[in-house]
Amino acid sequence: MKANQLREKYFAFFEKKGHRRVPAALLVPENDPTTLFVSSGMQPMMPYLLGEKHPLGSRIVNSQPCIRTQDIKEVGDGRHTTFFEMLGNWSLGDYFKKEQLAWFFEFLTGEIGLDPARLYVTVFAGNDQVQKDQEAIEIWQELFKTKKAPREGKEGFDPEVKVYLYGSKKNWWSRSGAPDQMPTGEPGGPDSEMFFDFGADLGIHERSIFAQNECHLNCDCGRFLEIGNSVFMEYQKNQSGGFDKLPARNIDFGGGFERILASSWDQPDIFRTELFYPIIGAIQKATGVGYRQNPVFMQVIADHLKAAVFLVDQGVEPSNKQQGYVLRRLLRRAVVKMQQLKKEKISETDFEPLCEAVLRIYQGIYFDDIAKRKKKIAPVISQEVDRFNQNLIRGLRIVAETVPEEINGQFAFKLFSTYGFPFEVTRELALVKGIDLAREAFEKEFKGHQAKSRTAARGMFKGGLADSSERIVKLHTATHLLHQALRKVLGNHVRQVGSNITAERLRFDFTHPEKLTPKQVKEIQDIVNQTIDRGLEVKKEIMSLAEAEKCGALAFFKERYAREVTVYSIGGFSREVCAGPHVQNTRKVGHVEITKEESVGTGRRRLYMILKELPNGS
């Protein structure tokens, strides 16, 4: 089955079960400060999982491009990537375990024909707060009993062999992991994972460092591949560290698109599927090296380039900050690997065919006019490659010539500050010489030298949850007020091109050709504060996108909206298509202050705004 057919089959299957399809969200989350990137399909669904009503109803299906840089070290094992597509379906207070598990099982075995003999599942074993998921165990037992093993012609499977129990480290899901890591307010719940068995006799198992250990579903030897995860999201962490029930019991299902495709091809290496192999082909051509000779480096390059193409397409540029810094690290790591594969010096044009391969893989799905996209993306990547390339050979030579005793934190910092080598790259190069460099040693040097860029470097490959407090909701409403105030003062050409809110501040990017004067900034701030003081009601309505536009709601990300949308109106002052949440009355926001205004590229400005503590503490 082709990748595009598989994706469509998945949509059609769940549409038949009453789900409505929603477009994918952008990789950089809007109005969500919790992570740098959308790293699972549920992230853009957060307001709905917490109880907001979804405009399309209670059954939703989609495919969401995700970036998970936490997995960067695993890239090279044939199945981990930093960029992947997550097939999702959600029940927002509608159906629950019985339907979800049965449907996904039916999809795998019936629609795409996976042999049930090769499917295994895990279920939550229970902890001191939430009991063992007996219901899920029994559902799976029944499901497996009803299936025939086509090859063996056997009627039914022994459930003992198919269903396994794991604790909260493996079978509990929240964005921040196990129950004890969840911040207050975070939703989560026990989950059930599905695995495809590639067999013990593929040779992967023997090669693996885990070969000496007893193999089990969650081990990393490569035999079993996790392909789906149904989260039974019914809990929310409360202030005393325990759990409250969410307003409704939800299903949050996520399936690894690339992995399901690989399983349907009986191919344990996802990089040999059509979702990667054209990129691998381009790398082979550029380097003259065959995939079998160095699959690890080629997988890293293919994955990182794919992630980079999506990020640049969505407006992220290499920089020393936040998402831009992650992009820079991905690209530079790919460049180092490319140089290590290729005998002669690489050039920035080596990466163009790789970009094109990525665009072609997703042509018509995520990229329309390939030539136009390439024109936009390739120069950004080439420029970064070129910038780094100038120091690359010298940096690599220095590593090669330095004796192991001198490879330490100071050395890593020098390579970073002089040659632009990200710490991870130096650590990998040092490992070849038998040195395991500690990040702390590098950061100690860093701290001493450059307090400013230290924030850029720390923990960038982690998700890093902030809290989702009342302050964020207030700042979200302030964002709408700011947007409208900007249009009043500067004109209706102003449109939002991005926003990011943390508990400390809101950051708002918009189109405008020139720097704002202090007078304009003050006027905008005054309008926002005066509107807050008017005590306007914040009203939420669900309507079709066409109706929303007709009634003048700001809707700038149309291609990402479903046909029915939620519109938030703030009195008669502002009206926007938005998923919420918001305060109910503007007075709740308190006063705000604009703290900074800057340029973020041609024709784009950025404003920072904070909540101002009022003397009476309100």
Residues that bind ligand SER (CB under 6 A): 40-42, 88, 173, 229, 231, 252-254
> Are the C-beta atoms of residues 346 and 338 closer than 8 Å to each other?
yes
Which residue type is seen at 204?
I
Rank residues 189 and 420 by Cβ distance to ligand SER and give the closer one: 189
3-state helix, strand, coil in the chain (%, to 5): 45, 20, 35
Q: Which is nearer to ligand SER, 96 or 556 (CB)?
A: 96
- Cβ-contact 460, 427 below 8 angstroms: no
Helices (H) and strands (E) in the chain, counts: 20, 18
Partnered with residue 599 across adjacent β-strands are 605
- Helix/strand/coil for 251: strand
Least separation, in Å, of the C-beta of 213 and ligand SER?
A: 25
Least distance CB 13 / ligand SER (angstroms):
17
The structure tokens 């929310």 sit at 236
Closest of 68, 184, 166 to residue 123, by C-alpha = 166
Q: How far apart are CA 252 and CA 139, in angstroms?
A: 17
Residue among 326, 313, 372, 319 at smallest CA distance from 606? 319
Instruction: Pick between residue 171 and residue 484 the one whose CB is nearest to ligand SER.
Output: 171
CA dist 489 and 166 (Å) reads: 58
Give me 67's structure tokens: 């970036």
Residue nearest to ligand SER (CB): 254
By beta-carbon proximity to ligand SER, the closer residue of 41 and 581 is 41
Please tell me the distance from the alpha carbon of residue 26 to that of residue 498, in angstroms, as a whole number: 10
Question: Token digits for 473?
Answer: 């909701």
Q: Which is nearer to ligand SER, 55 or 88 (CB)?
A: 88
CB of 226 to ligand SER, least distance (A): 9
Least CB distance from residue 329 to ligand SER, whole Å?
A: 23
Q: How far is the CB of 60 from ligand SER (least distance, A)?
A: 12
Sign, CA dihedral 113-194-105-75, equals negative
Q: Closest separation between CB of residue 64 and ligand SER, Å?
A: 9
Q: Which of 504, 535, 568 is nearest to 52 (CA)?
A: 568
Q: Which is nearer to ligand SER, 42 or 478 (CB)?
A: 42
Q: In angstroms, what is the minimal distance from the CB of 511 to ligand SER?
A: 34
Minimum CB distance to ligand SER, residue 34 (Å)? 13
> Which residues, 6 or more positions from 431, have their beta carbon under 8 angstroms from its beta carbon?
437
**Residue 42 or 275 with smaller CB distance to ligand SER:** 42
Least distance (Å) between residue 562 CB and ligand SER:
19
In the bound state with ligand SER, the residue whose beta carbon lies nearer, of 66 and 516, is 66
Q: Which residue has the tokens 């969200």?
A: 25
Closer CB to ligand SER, 253 or 271, in the complex: 253
